[in-house]
């Protein structure tokens, strides 16, 4: 019988096949995608982060856990994207330049899709110029930036300044998130919305375009 403790352990160990198997068993047993995320996958990545900080886990192990987590997210994607299929609006999202962390950003993207947004996911290490070009091309209602490093979070105000310089700032609502980002930082840099997690990000995005 699959359980969340087992799932957390498999993600921490970076066991991709085991994680997929247990995730499938939980889905077949009637668990919802949010439940699987909150009960197993997200707490597992928190533990991986603590181990990285304390020197117990190194980059190769962290990368294995991250790949494992992404595999489970891919499996859950149809469930996360279920629901409102209407066209709520367009969201362009990416991880800022110099930053390769994409699990949280991809989760936000999947859940925005689930809320009916058309999502243009620009990937990782997206430059300010690439974000600005994407705003010109896709004319989104929401522009989302993710940053996980204290050394890359400063790209966020740079992009806001670049949008102003290009005369685009009033055309789009800017949302920010990621581990070092707080509501206070979001306010300080003049972003329109912040999400501490993916569910809050989606709620804010919907409220911003209501
Ligand atoms: Co990195 N890493 N990492 N890492 N990594 C952190 C962020 C760190 C906190 C670990 C630690 O020391 N405890 C630390 C940053 C310290 C700091 O800046 N103060 C760190 C470091 C130092 C580094 C390197 C510099 C390590 C090195 O090389 N010496 C290096 C940098 C590489 C680079 O980016 N240039 C590095 C590399 C990596 C891996 C490649 C090995 C891997 C990333 C793989 C990948 O993403 N494909 C990795 C991982 C996995 C982590 C941890 C362990 C987990 C991140 C994660 O995926 N969390 C992380 C520790 C941690 O955060 N606890 C760590 C799960 C994910 C669902 O949560 O991303 O927070 P999160 O997203 C949440 C919310 O933040 C929010 O919603 C999401 C879902 O709830 N959210 C948004 C995110 N984006 C949003 C956008 C929004 C709204 C909400 O609106 C647009």
Give 80-95 pLDDT, tens digit per residue.
877 655 678 999 999 9
Residue 193, ligand 1, Cβ within 6 A:
no
Index of the ligand 1 atom closest to the CA of residue 104? 72
Residue 107, ligand 1, Cβ within 6 A:
yes
The answer to whether position 84 is within a domain reads no
- Of 79, 109, 138, the one marking the end of a domain is 79
Look at the block and give the residue holding tokens 């499938």. 24
Residue 71, ligand 1, Cβ within 6 A:
no
- Per DSSP, helices labelled H in 14-154 are 16-28, 33-36, 42-53, 59-80, 103-114, 128-138
> Are 135 and 92 a contacting pair, CB within 8 Å?
yes
Centroid of ligand 1 to alpha carbon of 135 (angstroms) = 25
What's the number of CA atoms in the CB half-sphere (13 Å) around residue 71?
Answer: 20
Query: What mean pLDDT, rounded, does the chain reach?
Result: 93
Centroid of ligand 1 to alpha carbon of 9 (angstroms) = 19
Residue nearest to atom 32 of ligand 1 (CA): 100
Centroid of ligand 1 to alpha carbon of 147 (angstroms) = 8
Residues 75 and 94 in one domain: no
Residue 62, ligand 1, Cβ within 6 A:
yes
pLDDT given at position 11 = 96
As for how many domains the chain has, the answer is: 2
Residues 103 and 197 in one domain: yes
Rounded to 5 degrees, φ, ψ at 120 are -105, 110
Residue 135: partners with Cβ closer than 8 Å, 6 or more residues away: 92, 143, 163, 166, 168, 171, 172
pLDDT given at position 83 = 62
Centroid of ligand 1 to alpha carbon of 59 (angstroms) = 12
Residues 67 and 103 in one domain: no
Give 35-60 pLDDT, tens digit per residue.
999 999 999 999 998 999 999 999 99
Residue 11: partners with Cβ closer than 8 Å, 6 or more residues away: 19, 40, 41, 44, 45, 48, 65, 68, 69, 72
Domain span at 164: 90-208
**Residues of the chain above pLDDT 90, percent:** 84
Give 112-171 pLDDT, tens digit per residue.
988 889 999 999 999 999 999 999 999 999 999 999 999 999 999 999 999 999 999 999
Residues 149 and 201 in one domain: yes
Residues 68 and 94 in one domain: no
The answer to whether position 85 is within a domain reads no
Residues 49 and 20 in one domain: yes
Return the CATH number at 187. Answer: 3.40.50.280
Residue 195: partners with Cβ closer than 8 Å, 6 or more residues away: 108, 175, 177, 201, 202, 203, 204, 205
Residue nearest to atom 12 of ligand 1 (CA): 53
> Are 95 and 48 a contacting pair, CB within 8 Å?
no
pLDDT category of residue 110 using cuts at 50, 70 and 90: confident
Residues 43 and 16 in one domain: yes
């Amino acid at each position: 019988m699959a359980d969340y403790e087992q799932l957390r352990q498999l993600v921490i160990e970076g066991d991709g096949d085991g994680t997929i198997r247990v995730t499938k068993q939980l889905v077949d047993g009637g668990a919802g995608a949010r439940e699987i995320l909150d009960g197993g996958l997200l707490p597992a990545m928190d533990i991986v982060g603590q181990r990285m900080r304390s020197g117990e886990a190194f980059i190769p192990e962290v990368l294995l856990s991250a790949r494992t987590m992404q595999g489970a997210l891919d499996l859950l994607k149809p469930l996360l994207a279920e629901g409102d299929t209407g066209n709520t609006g367009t969201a362009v999202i990416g991880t800022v330049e110099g930053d390769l962390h994409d699990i949280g950003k991809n989760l936000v993207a999947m859940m925005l899709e689930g809320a009916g947004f058309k999502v243009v996911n620009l990937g990782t290490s997206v430059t300010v110029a690439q974000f600005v070009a994407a705003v010109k091309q896709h004319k989104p209602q929401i522009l989302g930036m993710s940053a996980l490093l204290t050394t890359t979070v400063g790209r966020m105000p740079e992009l806001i300044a670049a949008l102003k310089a290009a005369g685009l700032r009033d055309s789009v609502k800017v949302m920010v998130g990621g581990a070092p980002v707080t509501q206070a930082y979001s306010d300080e840099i003049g972003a329109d919305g912040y999400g501490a997690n993916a569910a809050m990000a989606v709620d804010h995005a919907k409220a911003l375009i209501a």
